[in-house]
Amino acid sequence: MRRLSGIVGATAALLSAIAFADDARLPLNPAKPLTEAGPKSLDPRLTIELFADAPQIVTPTDLAVDYRGRVWAIESNTHFPPAGYKGHSSDRILVFTPKPSGGRAGDPQVFDDGFRHAMSIAVPFGDGVYVATRREVIHLVDKDGDGKADERHSILKLETKGDYPHNGLAGFASDGLGYMYIGLGENLGADYRLVGTDGRAVSGGGEGGSLFRFRPDGTDLTLWATGFWNPHASCVDAFGRMFTVDNDPDDRPPCRLLHIIPGGDYGYRFRNGRRGIHPFTAWDGELPGTLPMVCGTGEAPSGIITYESDAFPEDYLGSLLASSWGDHRIDRFRPKPKGTSFTAKLEPIIVGGENFRPVGVALAPDGTVFFTDWVSKEYHVHGKGRIWRIAPKEPIKKPVEDLAALDKLPFHALREKLYSPRMDIRRRAAQQMVIQHGKQTFTGLSVFSERRACEVTWAETCRSVHQGVPPLRSSLKTPKRFWSYVEERQDEALLKQIKHPTDVDPSSVLVSLAHRDPSLATAEPGVVAKIVAGGDPLVFAAVVQALTNGQGLTPKVVAGRLRAEQTPFSEVRLALLLAARASDGSDWGKWVLLVAFRDPDPRVRFTAIEWVGEGRLTQFRGEIERELSNPKTTADLFEASLASLEMLDGVKRKPGNEFSGADYALRLACDPKVADNVRAMALRIVPLDHKKLSFAQLTSLMKEGGPELRFEALCTFRNLPFPEGPKVERELALDEHADKNLRLEAIAGLALALDRDEHDTATITALR
């Protein structure tokens, strides 16, 4: 591990850059300007034009486009202002009205002012304006129609000492059931409390970034998913599937495009070190219970939309478009099914040079796409800024439908609007049909996978909620008809749908599974084993949720089922352990952890080790130490055990040393009672500059241990500048009774010494 720690980040970054360059056919150095003429489109069917430029707007963050086509943009003036900054004193909301002939916009109108660290904006139809600052979500209302905010209501408040500008609240998204979503960055690990208008609060700190769901009035605040670095932007597509871009991985490139499911854990833990390489931190679903990315993105993705319109070529329908601040691009992703989730490939469509830094992205009613441009690599506000517009090369000939006009249409005309390529038109039409005629109006609409059927189902559900009927479980993803479809069938039918989804969206099956009758918690292990047998990580996560929510599980029951002789399916034992951990900590732990530590599956033992460390369950320290001395332990388990012991002892690793555990490792390496392979693994992760790593200690290990330990001691020895080093290596190289591999390693050390002219060639001659 010592030899890898210095090169893992650089190697991963290089591989990521090569992959992107291969996909995009771009030079490997993204900082080198591609052109001085501004960004260009790589799709010959699209064009890009400048919409606004400084001084019309400077250092813009996010933007939105309303149903009338007006562009609402945040001008940032508080993001690290330099000394003597001559710009405006606060952040403000600017509104641009496009000209009928296209081209540059005129001067904007100031809608509101006085914000600090404003990051995101949303302008939903008929519901004012929402602004997310670093520590607050604000609802703005223009009551008299003069284009200026008259009322300001705080609907979410973030109570925290964290104050870094862009790792707080950001990234609005909305779904078909009327919920809104907001992201919270890693907040530099500071404790926080997010509070809604009804007093409902979610607390945390150190776990990484999270996503939250809430009603537009700030009520019903819920933790939706966690384990991010900075979920800076999200969107919900036409089928209710949520996607997020996670901004910045530090030493774990690339940045991530993620498919979000309720309760999902995406692996990042800021409290384990910001570099992301701690044994208990995952970036691509490496650890039990964590979820993988859809694919990598460009550096610093800051905006994402789902394209639901028809101005662009037809193959863009359903595509995700995301910005890359660090790689100077707008990228396209076409999600393709992979089990119950998706995979995708990064496809650059707009590329620019060093001074092209796209941030927010928004879809306009006419099907064109707008995005902001920070311009400079400087983090501080600098007086520059632009807004660009992506449009089809062929002019748009048909008039843009007026969303507001739908409220006056008769029923038959509304039904036709369900076939619109615009998601906002379909949604409003379905809502008006339900308001006017109730649920019976949708007879004859079919197939769950069609965009119109989703809107119809969500409109029905929202109407039921408005009339006092209990809401559709807690899922944004699942059409009501499909709920009954799943719940009328047995496990075998559900399993078939998971493996062979046809006329239904597989993510609907997934969420149905997670919220099924709690009887899954007491089902026979074989039933659960069949569901998770395919190895789908999202299905596994849903099973863990179902088990966690079940009423039939008790510590004693779980402890019994964790025994391999009772539950021979390792995936089920792992799911049970994760559910127990999610249910509670210490009270469950005393029943189940002793069983888990003796499980034959390394993943189960790893989860037990992680639970003990992060839960600070000191009573299980002996179990951790026994795992370290286990001759059959693995490198992952070994490193996890060291990390867990450090947590139990309150040791905090240095920011640049997340691989460490050096003191524990060196102690084990020198313990003759410990198995040789364990001692070798321990020595391997001790840094070369460790103050207790001495000449006498290493030469002793080279003599007393078995071949594996002696070899590792010699590898360490020859990388240290001991004056007596060449003499020891010479004696070992000339020892005909020594292990062959040891002699070869000693010769390699002598060869390095020759390069440094540290001694003559007599030894090499003797070896010949």
Long-range CB contacts for residues 397-405, cutoff 8 Å, separation at least 24: 400/69, 400/365, 400/366, 401/365, 401/425, 402/67, 403/67, 403/125, 403/365, 403/428, 404/67, 404/125
Model confidence at 365, in pLDDT bands (50, 70, 90)?
Answer: very high
Residue 8 pLDDT exceeds 70: no
Of 187-201, 374-388, 660-674, the one with minimum mean pLDDT is 660-674
Model confidence at 22, in pLDDT bands (50, 70, 90)?
Answer: very low
Q: Which residues contact 121 (CB under 8 A, 6 or more apart)?
A: 62, 63, 64, 72, 73, 74, 93, 129, 130, 131, 132, 172, 360
- In angstroms, the first-to-last Cα distance of the chain is 34
pLDDT (tens digit, 9 = 90+) per residue, 137-192? Answer: 999 999 999 999 999 999 999 999 999 999 999 999 999 889 999 999 999 999 99
Q: CB of 296 within 8 A of CB of 344? A: no
- Rounded Cα distance between 306 and 598, Å, is 47
Percent of the chain predicted with pLDDT > 70: 81
* H/E segment holding residue 741: helix 740-755
Which pLDDT belongs to residue 369? 98
Residue 501 pLDDT exceeds 70: no
Which pLDDT belongs to residue 658? 58
At 551, is the secondary structure helix, strand, or coil?
coil
Which pLDDT belongs to residue 384? 96
Model confidence at 468, in pLDDT bands (50, 70, 90)?
Answer: very low
pLDDT (tens digit, 9 = 90+) per residue, 309-319? Answer: 999 999 999 99
Could you tell me the pTM of the whole model?
0.84
Which pLDDT belongs to residue 755? 55
At 319, is the secondary structure helix, strand, or coil?
coil
Which pLDDT belongs to residue 651? 76
Which pLDDT belongs to residue 420? 92
Which pLDDT belongs to residue 439? 56
Closest among 732, 27, 53, 36 to 383, alpha carbons compared: 53
Residue 455 pLDDT exceeds 90: no
DSSP 663-708: HHHHHHHT-TTS-HHHHHHHHHTS-TT-TT--HHHHHHHHHHS-HH
Which pLDDT belongs to residue 738? 75
Residue 670 pLDDT exceeds 50: yes
pLDDT (tens digit, 9 = 90+) per residue, 56-112? Answer: 999 999 999 999 999 999 999 999 999 999 999 999 999 999 998 888 999 999 999
pLDDT (tens digit, 9 = 90+) per residue, 391-427? Answer: 999 988 888 999 999 999 998 899 889 889 999 999 9
Residue 467 pLDDT exceeds 60: no
Give the strand pairing for 91-96 and 71-75.
Answer: antiparallel
List % helix, strand, coil for the chain (3-state, nearest 5): 35, 20, 45
- Rounded Cα distance between 303 and 325, Å, is 9
Q: CB of 672 within 8 A of CB of 646? A: no
Angle at 94 between CA 91 and CA 100, to 5 degrees: 160
Which pLDDT belongs to residue 479? 37
- Rounded Cα distance between 32 and 375, Å, is 14
Instruction: Quote the mean pLDDT of the chain.
Output: 83
| Environment class of 336 (CB within 10 Å of its CB; exposed 0-12, middle 13-18, buried 19+) | exposed
Q: Which residues contact 646 (CB under 8 A, 6 or more apart)?
A: 613, 653, 661, 664
Higher pLDDT, 280 or 691: 280
Q: What is the DSSP letter of 611?
A: H
Cα dihedral 456, 459, 460, 465 in deg (nearest 10):
160
Model confidence at 671, in pLDDT bands (50, 70, 90)?
Answer: confident
User: Of the ranges 392-396, 450-454, 753-757, which is most confident?
Assistant: 392-396
Edge-first strand order for the sheet with 320-324 is: 40-41, 347-351, 329-333, 320-324, 304-306
pLDDT (tens digit, 9 = 90+) per residue, 695-744? Answer: 888 888 888 778 888 888 888 887 888 887 777 778 777 777 777 777 87
Residue 388 pLDDT exceeds 60: yes
Which pLDDT belongs to residue 509? 52
What are the tokens at 313? 């070529």
- How confident is the model over 216-239, as a mean pLDDT? 95
The dihedral region occupied by 444, where left means phi > 0, alpha psi between -120 and 50, and beta the remainder, is left
